[in-house]
Amino acid sequence: MNPHRPPTNFESHVFDALHLIPKGKVTTYGALARYLACRSPRAIGQALKRNPFAPETPCHRVVSGDLRIGGFFGAREGEPIERKIRLLLSEGVRILADGKIDPSCAFRFDE
């Protein structure tokens, strides 16, 4: 992958949709895929991994379907995940003792 290439049309649609998720809320890879009529939450994750506009284009607001933190810039642990958690907490997202996002912080595109 060329890190300097412009986003594809698909990636641009994914990045645009991220701006619909308000601060203090998260959505899931699956919900974002459904919103974009994409059959693959994994494709969403691959697009988010390539987001050159973060954190202004808030890919950190997308979490796993079970409301766990999920990945961040292709990582599943370490400093990238700690950074994602810090970003979410700074925006008012509540993380429960079991590491999951408080369901009241979940954003639905159909609301």
| Structural domains in the chain plus CATH codes | 9-105 (1.10.10.10)
Which residues have a Cβ under 8 Å from the Cβ of 36 and sit 6 or more positions away?
13, 14, 17, 44
Given this model, what pLDDT does residue 35 score?
Answer: 97
7/27 Cα distance (integer angstroms): 21
Backbone CA torsion sign across 38, 40, 46, 51: positive
Q: Is 105 a catalytic residue?
A: no
What are the 10-residue block averages of pLDDT along the chain, 111 residues in total? Answer: 80 97 97 96 95 95 97 93 97 97 95 65
**pLDDT tens-digit readout, 7-36:** 999 999 999 999 999 999 999 999 999 999
- Are the C-beta atoms of residues 29 and 62 closer than 8 Å to each other? yes
Neighbouring CB atoms inside 10 A of 79's CB total 10
Q: Report pTM.
A: 0.93
Q: Are 65 and 41 in contact (CB under 8 A)?
A: yes
In angstroms, rounded to a whole number, what is the distance separating the alpha carbons of residues 34 and 110?
Answer: 11
Candidate list 21, 31, 59, 105, residue with the active-site label: 59
